[in-house]
Amino acid sequence: MTTARLRVTFAGPHVSYQDGGRPGLLRFGVPESGPMDGLAHAAANLAVGNPADATAIEISPAGLTIECVDGGVTFAVAGGGFVVDHAGTRSGGWEVRTLRPGETLQVQRGHWGSWTYLALAGRIEAAEWLGHTATHTTSGFGGGLLESGGEIVIRDSRISPERERRFPCPVLARAQSTARVVLGPQLHRVQPEAVAALLTGAHTLSDSYDRMGVRLRGPALAIADALSIPSEPIVAGSIQVAGDGVATLLLRDHQTTGGYPKIATVLAADLDRVVQLRPRDRITFQAVGADRAIQIARLHAQRCAAYLGTISTPN
Amino acid sequence: MPSTPCFAPVADHALLVELGETIDDATSDRIVALDRALADDPPPGLREVVPGLVNLLIDFDPCATDHRQIEAAVRNCLAHPPAAGRAGTLREVEVCYDPDLGHDLASVAEQTGLSVDEVIAAHLSGDYRVRMYGFTPGYAYMSGTPEAIQLPRKPAAIRGVAAGSVIIAGPQCIVTTLLMPAGWWVIGRSPTRILTGDLDHPFLFDVGDPVRMRRITRADYDRKVAA
């Protein structure tokens, strides 16, 4: 059994351990957490020969720099277009390489994308909560945030030269500025002109963007009787409208209930790509019916499975 | 009996089922009954059922089912209610009403025209029931705070309310699990762990459980927290 040890020389904010997520506990106030971009997370893991839902490191544009202290380990970076510097070579990620003792790996903000994933061949040691390492950032439960000066330990670490290669970012993992939504469920709580404003107005992501959600900028969305709504369950992708007419798109670490009306909900099939937008990027919303949403979900699942199938086999 | 339930699709993977318009015991009982019926006989593709105060969210795998089939399964459950509703399991929450821990006891007393002891007695007399979990892990919204001590929430949330705080607003009561801001009135502190740390039963309450408050002394509280 081999163990690789890496030192974190720099970790920016919002860099966390995430396995595939902690599903099934919404009824206890626990959102799923897990990767913001689930497809990229799975691709990075599969590329190094890990299970798709293994613990990986989610990196924000604030970046991460690590140094290999002991052992060596094959790694993959996937998600967005980040800048990856390793052993004198610079790339745009979507690549499998091997980190050896004494070498440094630096992942920084690049041309596009808000989240990228560093998968390490083996088993990353991280605290579990309710059987998962996914970090719930509000509570800190789970694997937690990485901190400068800390250590990353990989048990049963592997060096797999046969896996080293590039695997270009597929179209289905690129940032997407059109988010398809099903309107509602509280359509009756908003003014009809609010729906028109959501679907035709110019919206951008604000700087207020973290794993819980992103506040949008755009025309105010008028709501009807906001204060009288009993608190009710929320899912990732909910667009809730506060009393001041400002919309927030709720994401992986969302609060599980809320009393603001939800004007629309982004399809799960589009969420991985929408989160790769950045503050100040434009976003438009396109309404689809429930039946069409199901078709989209099924097609998306097929495409993801087909793509991931090409990643998981070594050269 | 309720008029017909309302169904609203939520994205490509969930259905919201509204069973009432106002927060009351009858609506809540219907929600708990439907939640249990779905747990006993889950339709194919069901991933999760999340009870709310007037509705339930049903999350499903869109590759295995769709909104229409889930709606049909719910209608079937509603048309065949279980013979006898289960009452849930009575849970006990220990509360220390030391004024150092229940910072707002004096304020609640002043606003309600009661003495501090009367506020405590009223809180202990409440017939509580877990209506839903929400907001953040382990926050169980209980109904049952007696009318004599019902107050609207504070105009603004107070930062840094300790985990274990027993907080009330309107008819609701929560035992907090995390250090968080809260706009409710802090009347005591509990050593009872809602996040149990037990992997087989990680949350103390199930939705629908009745809850009784039991008073403990400051010495008891300190001893239990240290343990």
- Domain of B60, in residue numbers: 6-79
> What pLDDT score does A244 carry?
84
Q: Which of residues A190 and B108 earns the better pLDDT score?
A: B108
Tell me: do B100 and B72 sit in the same domain.
no
Residue B1 forms part of a structural domain: no
**Domain assignment of residue B86, yes or no:** no
Chain B interface mutation, best of A231, A238, A262, A300, highest count of B Cβ atoms under 10 Å: A231
CB–CB of B63 and A301 under 8 A?
yes
A211 contacts A162 by C-beta, under 8 angstroms: no
Could you give the CA distance from residue A215 to residue A11 in angstroms, rounded to a whole number? 25
- pLDDT for the residue numbered A222: 84
Per-residue burial over A62-73, b if 16 or more Cβ lie within 10 Å, else e, is: ebbbbbbeebbb
Examine the fold and report which residue of B79, B109, B144 is the final residue of a domain before the chain moves on: B79
Cα–Cα distance between B48 and B42 in angstroms, integer?
Answer: 10
Asked whether residue B102 is assigned to any structural domain, the reply reads yes
CATH number, position B37: 3.30.1360.40
CA B116 to chain A, closest CA, distance in angstroms equals 30
Domains observed in chain A: 3-169 (no CATH), 178-304 (2.40.100.10)
Q: Tell me if A241 sits within 8 A of A250, measured CB to CB.
A: no
> B45 in a domain, yes or no?
yes
Selected residues 75-134 of chain A with any CB under 8 Å from a CB in chain B? 130-131
Residue B73 and residue B99 in one domain: no
The answer to whether B7 touches A223, Cβ cutoff 8 Å, is no
Helix (H, G, I), strand (E, B) or coil at A292: helix
Q: Where are the beta strands (DSSP E) in A149-252?
A: 151-155, 165-166, 178-183, 203-209, 213-217, 232-233, 238-241, 247-250
ipTM field = 0.95
Mean of the pLDDT values across residues B145-153? 94
Chain segment A54-103, per-residue pLDDT in tens? 999 999 999 999 999 999 999 999 999 999 999 999 999 999 999 999 99
Q: Domain check: are B69 and B101 in the same one?
A: no
Residues B122, B47, single domain; the answer is no
Q: Which two structure tokens, joined as six digits, stand for A57?
A: 């490191």
Quick one: angle between helices B105-112 and B116-125, nearest 10? 90
Residue bearing tokens 């969305």: A221
Rounded CA separation B215/A187 (Å) = 45
Same domain, B129 and B149: yes
Mutate to test the interface with A, among B10, B48, B63, B139 (most CBs of A within 10 A): B10
pLDDT digits (tens, 9 = 90+) for B88-139: 899 999 999 999 999 999 999 999 999 999 999 999 999 999 999 998 899 9
Cβ contact (<8 Å) for A141 and B57?
no
Last residue of a domain, one of B79, B113, B140: B79
Q: What is the pLDDT of residue B86?
A: 63
Q: What is the pLDDT of residues B64-81, one digit of tens each?
A: 999 999 999 999 999 987
Residue A290 is nearest to which of B9, B49, B203, comparing CB atoms?
Answer: B9
Is residue A77 a contact partner of residue A169, using CB atoms and an 8 Å limit?
A: no
Task: Tell me the per-residue pLDDT of B10-46, one tens digit each, with 9 for 90 and over.
Answer: 999 999 999 988 888 888 889 999 999 999 999 999 9
B146 prior amide bond cis, ω within 30: no
Q: Are residues B70 and B134 in the same domain?
A: no
CB contact under 8 A, A256 and B50: yes
The answer to whether the CB of A254 falls within 8 A of the CB of A212 is yes
Tell me which chain B residues have a C-beta less than 8 angstroms from the C-beta of A296. 12
B215 found inside a domain: yes
Domain count, chain B: 2
B36 and B138 inside one domain: no
Q: Which DSSP symbol is given to A219?
A: S
Residue B197 included in any domain:
yes
Based on the domain organization, do B98 and B65 belong to the same domain?
no
- B132 CB neighbours in chain A (<8 A) are 27, 231, 233, 257
- What's the CATH number where B167 sits? 2.40.100.10
> Is the domain of B105 the same as that of B200?
yes
Helix-helix angle A290-312:A38-47, to 10 degrees:
20
Instruction: From B79, B100, B123, give the residue that closes a domain.
Output: B79
3-state percent helix, strand, coil for chain A, nearest multiple of 5? 20, 35, 45
Cα separation values, A233 from A11, A26, A179, B111, Å: 34, 8, 21, 32
Instruction: Give a yes or no: residue B12 inside a domain.
Output: yes
Whether residue B1 is predicted with pLDDT greater than 50 in this model: the reply is: no
Question: Residue A228 pLDDT > 60, yes or no?
Answer: no
Is position B60 within any domain?
yes
- Same domain as B144, residue B69: no
Calpha distance B158→B45 (Å, rounded): 42
In the predicted model, is pLDDT for residue A225 greater than 70? no
**Are residue B73 and residue B52 in the same domain, yes or no?**
yes
Same domain, B68 and B99: no
In this structure, which amino acid lies at residue A81? G
